[in-house]
Amino acid sequence: MNTDDTNLIKKCCMGETGSFQVLVERYKKSAYHYALAFVGNTDDAYDLSQEAFIHAYRALKRYDGKHSFRSWFFAILSNLCKNALRSRKVRRKFMISDVAVIIEEVPAKSGPVEEYRGKVIKKLIWDALATLDDDAREIIILKHFQDMSYQEIAEIMKIPVGTVMSRLHYARLRLKKQIEVMNK
């Protein structure tokens, strides 16, 4: 657990808003990128990540320190994203495929053919990810895009650590299947 985060939370509970600002600065980018991968468009991701910080601030006194702040905060963010998708299903369908805006263009070292191939694969993965159910997408984003440990994923998804490996595996199999279907 990040003891620095815990100290900041304690200070914040004593009325030092500046401490919360430090936490926001620390996690804002990963929060935004997580929401972006989840809801698929920049405006909603920006709003949802801010909203998650607001929810966290208001609930800070209820934070018991059993898990890291990061896990606790991402559990809030994750639920907000799921709720947002439920209420904006139609909008998501329109917005989520805009991969060029979301995924950074990284020039391939081995030349334009590889670069093009890389782009196609990224688009396939992105599109396939969008078709998965919320739980499968959540666990893949937490592992592949946030590089969280199984322990952190378990805390966020409120499942036993032992279940993370199998859930992740089945989510990856579904992703692979979707990629194969889309690639035909």
Partner 1 sequence: MNCQQAMILISGKLDGELDPRQEELLDEHLQQCADCRQEYDELLRIKEATNDMRFTDLPDRMWAGYWNGIYNRLERGMGWLLFSLGAIVLLAFGVWNMLESFFMDSSIPVVVRFGVGTLITGAVILLVSIVRERLFLRKHERYDEVQR
Applying CB under 8 A, the residues found at the interface with partner 1 are 17, 21, 24-25, 28-29, 32-33, 36-37, 42, 46, 50, 53-54, 57-59, 75-76, 79, 82-83, 101-104, 106, 118, 121-122, 125-126, 134-135, 143-145, 149-150, 157-158, 165-166, 168-169, 172, 175-176, 179
CB of 37 to partner 1, least distance (A): 7
Q: CA torsion 79→169→158→89, rounded to 10°?
A: 20
Q: Which is nearer to partner 1, 69 or 126 (CB)?
A: 126
Q: Which is nearer to partner 1, 3 or 18 (CB)?
A: 18
CB of 71 to partner 1, least distance (A): 14
| Alpha carbon distance 184, 181 (integer Å) | 6
Q: Which is nearer to partner 1, 3 or 92 (CB)?
A: 92
| Alpha carbon distance 52, 79 (integer Å) | 9
CB of 131 to partner 1, least distance (A): 15
| Alpha carbon distance 100, 123 (integer Å) | 8
CB of 112 to partner 1, least distance (A): 16
Q: For residue 49, give the nearest of 2, 41, 139 by alpha carbon.
A: 41
What region, left, alpha or beta, does residue 28 occupy, with left being phi > 0 and alpha being psi -120 to 50 degrees? Answer: alpha
Place of tokens 């334009």: 112
Q: Which is nearer to partner 1, 1 or 106 (CB)?
A: 106
Exposure string of 150-181, with b = 16+ CB inside 10 Å and e = fewer, is bebbbbbbeeeeeebeebbeebeebbeebbee
CB of 90 to partner 1, least distance (A): 20
Q: Which is nearer to partner 1, 92 or 143 (CB)?
A: 143
